[in-house]
Structure 1
Amino acid sequence: MLLRACRSLAEAAREGAPDFRERLEGVMPLAAAAPKDELTAAANLLVDTAAEVLPERGGWLAALAGALAGRGADADGIPLVARLGGVAAGAMAFAEAWDGRPPPAAAGPAPRIWERTRALMGDRAMISMQCWYALPRFAQGALALLLHSPATRAAVADFDEAVDRAVVHCDALRDVQELRRVLDGESLLVLHRPSRRGWTVTMRGVTDNFQLHTLLAGLLVGVEMPGRAPHPGWVAAFGDADSAPALPPVEGWWDLADAHGETVWNEGVPADIPLLGDTRVLVLDPPSRQRTWEAGRRHPEVSGLLELEAAYHPDDLLAWWPALKPPTGGG
């Protein structure tokens, strides 16, 4: 039932059918009873169609695909995230034609806005105006797909210049920016300077360095190295559990640095850690002062995981230490 309704809706979007909104409203009530495979097929159909049709109707399909992802669809959001860049570019052209003071998108289009836009933009007016009003829905859909699809996060480009510029007009794009930079499935070489030991870990769903720091402690301290093991609730809250209100603040274990000696701030994200050659390197140093933070994921919908891929004896790492710079300060 759901897939059939989505096929009808996609056809209406492509053909410009006048009953598009009526078909749109009939889809979500069917999602509650749909099995996962049907949710996934429907969401993928909507994603592909949203990437092809005019922005006004494509935006509604994008938002609907995101809603199905939130209900459990395992959707490939790559075409929609790619289309978001084009919609953002069109929206920025609209905003710039209005001297950076465009009418609020939430208020919806009106005849006077169309007449003014046509006078300002000529033949470009229709598509740019559609992009402006569709941008929040495309952002909503892209955000949901990035939140719920590790494969989408891993496959999309880190940056999109048009999306970065459009952030000033659409708050949801800030989260889209962050999630595009999540290094799903990427390896990190972790080097402990005092012991000269090291580990390769794979990051999945790690959205900031508070999370990275805590999950590293859960993986290494008391297992691979001596020290104060983290509270299990801290590790769980940064993994896939809700943060318990009674949890005490996390207490940090190290100063973090990159291979060039620069501080890796807890407030940053793993993508900020630079490469040394082809390897992203994080160096653990003794803490210069006590640091605390609250346990909980920046994006609760995204589960975080570090997987230990390899552990190295100091003799295995002799070539690495001369290439590292000393730390410049506490992180």
Structure 2
Amino acid sequence: MSELEEAVAARDGDRTERAFTAVMNGVQSASDPERDLAGPRLAALLPAFPPTGPRPMLAMAAGYCVERGADPVSCAEPILDSVHQDLLDALEFARRWTGTAASAATNELPEPDEKIIDDALLARLGDDAYEATRLALAWCSVEEWQPPALAVLCRSAEVRRRHASAILPACRELAALERHDLKCLAYALAVLDGESLVVLHRPTGTGFEVRIGGIGDNFQLHTLLAHVLIGGGHIPGAKPSAESVRLATDPEPARGRTQAVATGAFELLAPNGERIWNEGLPDDIPLVEGRRLLVLDDPTYQRSWNADRFFPHLPGTAELVRVLTAGEVRTWFARTKPGSTAHQPS
């Protein structure tokens, strides 16, 4: 590590390459206490590492140390700043590529594969060959940043609070170009922590304030809402199995896939009556006057799914803060679109 730090500081390419190879090999065989120390030092090298060098590999080594116990908060800023910059650089690549297209036939964005990088490709990106190479490498390698990003995002609510909201728009914008699979990164960046939901249950005309955190997708949210509201005796229905609740909330990381099944208890709806899909995110729940407002209705058909959580290292939480008063329920229901068979509170 010391040799690599000194070589990077000296801007000695050959020495950096040799030390980098030695460190990559050493991380695999190091003890966990050694990785605890190495993780933050590896991450701290990212800003000074050559932009056209194997920076994702350096970040992956730091992320591997986090996975084995290194402090995610200490490693997060250099990793996620680099992730953010590469997302922005990949977007700039796309902007320049489409902006220089002579016709619709040449307008299609290329596949993100370093094999495509040649003089002709770089020439489309501008006169600065070094910058063009940097943008092209960002376009081709941005998916490689997901493992180290997930390592820090899934192990610390503080990391998500500090960094996620700034990075998420660029991630979603790049994903919308449909050349990169950034689903895991986008989901991790969109995780809500300490978020208060207003939850209305149409069939009974009741309402609740529920605080959630660390939930990776709406399958997990669905299970936990059923656990809190049905399992807590607040609304009728079949409560989820103890195993599906454990898989959603256990602080210990999930180890491998299970055969456990969760069964749907609700239809999840936005205030305008549109369905909120289980495959989506709690972040999909719309804000109404500054509060996320979710409507639960009877399910239109029976559905079930594997109960394993989306992020094995990220336990979810959901707690009932309070039951809303009848007046509050009427006020919130007034902000929703009535269902055709819905029971509205009188």
Provide the TM-score with structure 2 as the length reference: 0.77
Distance 1:16 1:153, change over 3 A: same
Task: Work out whether 1:16 is the aligned partner of 2:11.
Answer: yes
Partner of 1:84: 83
SS in structure 1 opposite 2:154? helix
Q: Counterparts in 2 of 1:304-315, with a 5 A limit? A: 304-315=316-327
Partner of 1:185: 194
SS in structure 2 opposite 1:280? strand
- Measure how far apart 1:213 and its partner are: 0.6
- Measure how far apart 1:269 and its partner are: 1.1
Q: Counterparts in 2 of 1:102-141, with a 5 A limit? A: 104-105=113-114, 113=117, 115-116=119-120, 119-120=123-124, 121-123=126-128, 124-132=131-139, 134-141=141-148
Distance in 2 separating the partners of 1:222 and 1:138: 40
Partner of 1:209: 218
Distance 1:245 1:91, change over 3 A: closer
Contact 2:56 2:144 in 1 (8 A): yes
Q: Which amino acid aligns with 2:189?
A: R
Structure 1: give runs of 5+ residues left out of the alignment. none
Partner of 1:66: 63
The Cα offsets for residues 267-315 of structure 1, whole Å up to 9 and x where unpaired, read as: 2211111011110011122233322222111222322221333333435
Distance in 1 separating the partners of 2:196 and 2:212: 6
Distance 1:318 1:236, change over 3 A: same
Task: Work out whether 1:262 is the aligned partner of 2:253.
Answer: no
Aligned length: 315
Q: Which amino acid aligns with 1:28?
A: V
- Measure how far apart 1:324 and its partner are: 2.4
Partner of 1:236: 246
Is 76-85 or 114-123 further displaced after alignment? 114-123
Partner of 1:278: 290
Distance 1:215 1:259, change over 3 A: same
Distance in 1 separating the partners of 2:331 and 2:340: 21
Q: Which amino acid aligns with 2:127?
A: G
Distance in 2 separating the partners of 1:131 and 1:329: 52
Contact 2:72 2:151 in 1 (8 A): no
Distance in 1 separating the partners of 2:271 and 2:314: 28
- Measure how far apart 1:222 and its partner are: 3.2
Q: Which amino acid aligns with 1:54?
A: P
Q: Which amino acid aligns with 2:32?
A: A
Distance in 1 separating the partners of 2:296 and 2:320: 16
Partner of 1:176: 185
- Measure how far apart 1:252 and its partner are: 1.5
Distance 1:84 1:307, change over 3 A: same
Task: Work out whether 1:302 is the aligned partner of 2:294.
Answer: no
Distance in 2 separating the partners of 1:130 and 1:290: 47
Distance in 2 separating the partners of 1:32 and 1:329: 61
- Measure how far apart 1:63 and its partner are: 1.5
Contact 2:112 2:139 in 1 (8 A): no
Provide the TM-score with structure 1 as the length reference: 0.80
Distance in 2 separating the partners of 1:150 and 1:253: 29
Partner of 1:291: 303
Distance 1:244 1:233, change over 3 A: farther
Task: Work out whether 1:34 is the aligned partner of 2:33.
Answer: yes
Distance 1:264 1:29, change over 3 A: closer
Counterpart selection for 2:158 from 139, 142, 151: 151
- Measure how far apart 1:192 and its partner are: 1.9
Distance in 2 separating the partners of 1:202 and 1:52: 41
SS in structure 1 opposite 2:220? helix
* Superposition RMSD in Å: 3.2
Q: Which amino acid aligns with 1:131?
A: A
Distance in 2 separating the partners of 1:252 and 1:287: 7
Contact 2:112 2:180 in 1 (8 A): no
SS in structure 1 opposite 2:72? coil
Contact 1:186 1:203 in 2 (8 A): yes
